[in-house]
Amino acid sequence: MPTRATYRTLTSGGLDRRHTALRLWRKAKRLGTWNPDDFDLGRDAEDWRGLAPPERDMLMQLAALFMAGEEAVTRDLLPLLRAVVEDGYLEDEIYLTSFLWEEAKHVDLFDRFFAEVAGGHEDLHHYQGDHYRRLFGHELPRAMNRLYTDASPTAQAEASVVYHMIVEGVLAETGYHSWYTILHRRGIMPGMREGIEHVQRDEGRHIRYGVYLLARLIAAHGDAVWQAIQAKMTALMPVAVGVFVEGFERLERVHGHIPFGLDPEEFAEYAMSQFQKRLVRLEKARRQTLDEVLYREPAPDPDVQNQG
């Protein structure tokens, strides 16, 4: 059985309070303690009853994909947390405790949507297409669970790419764009609008942690890690775009049109834009030293709305 003889917090240095991950931890303490039960969804339920059936179906699809995605990232985070612990990054470990707590709250919020707005739960698996099932059912758990047996820098980088850069940085961010376009355009569901703003603010910190983690791995281990990151992002981007394509295709097939007047091309372009911005951000890390990664204040990401 493993034993422990020394403690970082009892050394002369203690926690490194300049550390990027600890800065994110302080923001999580200040901004991430919201309660999913606090949002009033009464008006949302009224607005729901006033929607046309195709509009309800579209919001059901969007919420179902978000809820399953939030459940997946909640369940699949632990291997990364363990890998960080084994590497001795206590500041990262401390921040990641809030990460798991926040993902669980996101599941809670979307569960409230189905229970209190959409009229109850039902089997929603039919909203998942092949690309969605590949990303969340195979790529994400496989990359994360690999860390139990292979926590090498390349394995950690590939896991973070799937989790932070593709699932959160591209897919979720494009999904938020869908929520804002629909709810703000129609002026409906103020409770969910407020809740989703809190979810996205949390995810903004998660993406920034992913950028930091990948930059740290690049700075510490060189171009082999960068090449693995680039290859994984390039391989998975068509899958992420495919999630939106198959969702819009289902709506067109079932209803003969896309509800709320949404343009599928706009969202494909938005997703591609998010991908390019993430890749540019990571490419810059190749020119950073490890100290710059660990101690430089993470710059606000202009591509994430309402982030903390």
Please give the pLDDT value at position 300: 54
Share of the chain above pLDDT 90, in %: 76
In three-state secondary structure terms, 102 is helix
Please give the pLDDT value at position 301: 52
On whether the CB atoms of residues 101 and 137 are closer than 8 A, the answer is no
On whether the CB atoms of residues 22 and 15 are closer than 8 A, the answer is yes
User: Within 10 Å of residue 31's Cβ, how many Cβ atoms?
Assistant: 17
Q: Rounded CA gap, 295 and 186, in Å?
A: 43
Give the domain extent around 138: 18-25+35-295
Among 206, 205, 217, 219, which residue's Cα sits nearest to residue 292? 219
pTM for the model stands at 0.92
Please give the pLDDT value at position 1: 57
Q: Rounded CA gap, 95 and 130, in Å?
A: 33
Q: Rounded CA gap, 79 and 279, in Å?
A: 24
Q: Rounded CA gap, 254 and 196, in Å?
A: 27
Residue 75 has pLDDT above 80, yes or no: yes
Please give the pLDDT value at position 307: 46
pLDDT digits (tens, 9 = 90+) for 128-143: 999 999 999 999 999 9
* pLDDT, greater one: 305 or 56: 56
Share of the chain above pLDDT 70, in %: 95
Please give the pLDDT value at position 2: 66
Q: Is residue 4 part of a domain?
A: no
The rounded Cα 76 to chain-centroid distance in angstroms is: 12
Please give the pLDDT value at position 25: 95
pLDDT digits (tens, 9 = 90+) for 12-55: 678 888 899 999 999 999 999 999 999 999 999 999 999 999 99
Please give the pLDDT value at position 298: 54
pLDDT digits (tens, 9 = 90+) for 175-234: 999 999 999 989 999 999 999 999 999 999 999 999 999 999 999 999 999 999 999 999
Mean pLDDT over 76-93 rounds to: 92
* pLDDT, greater one: 9 or 79: 79
Backbone angles phi, psi at 146, to 5 degrees: -55, -30
Residue in this structure with the two tokens 């607005």, named with its chain if needed: 47
Q: Is residue 42 part of a domain?
A: yes
Q: Two tokens at 21?
A: 């991950």
The rounded Cα 116 to chain-centroid distance in angstroms is: 24
Please give the pLDDT value at position 7: 82
Amino acid at 17: R
| CATH code for position 143 | 1.10.620.20
Strands (E), 102-254: none
Cα angle at 194 between 193 and 198, to 5 degrees?
115
Residue 69 has pLDDT above 80, yes or no: yes
Q: Is residue 100 part of a domain?
A: yes
Q: Cβ neighbours of residue 170 under 8 Å, at least 6 residues apart?
A: 237, 240, 271, 274, 275, 278
Q: What is the mean pLDDT of the chain?
A: 91
Q: What domain count does the chain have?
A: 1
Q: Is residue 304 part of a domain?
A: no
Q: Is residue 78 part of a domain?
A: yes
The rounded Cα 286 to chain-centroid distance in angstroms is: 23
Q: Is residue 97 part of a domain?
A: yes
Q: How confident is the model at residue 253 (pLDDT cuts 50, 70, 90)?
A: very high
DSSP for 160-177 reads HIIIIIIIIIIIIHHHHH
Q: Is residue 10 part of a domain?
A: no
Q: Two tokens at 256?
A: 């003969």
Largest Cα–Cα distance of the chain, in whole Å? 67
Q: Is residue 13 part of a domain?
A: no
Please give the pLDDT value at position 227: 95
Task: Tell me the residue length of the chain.
Answer: 308
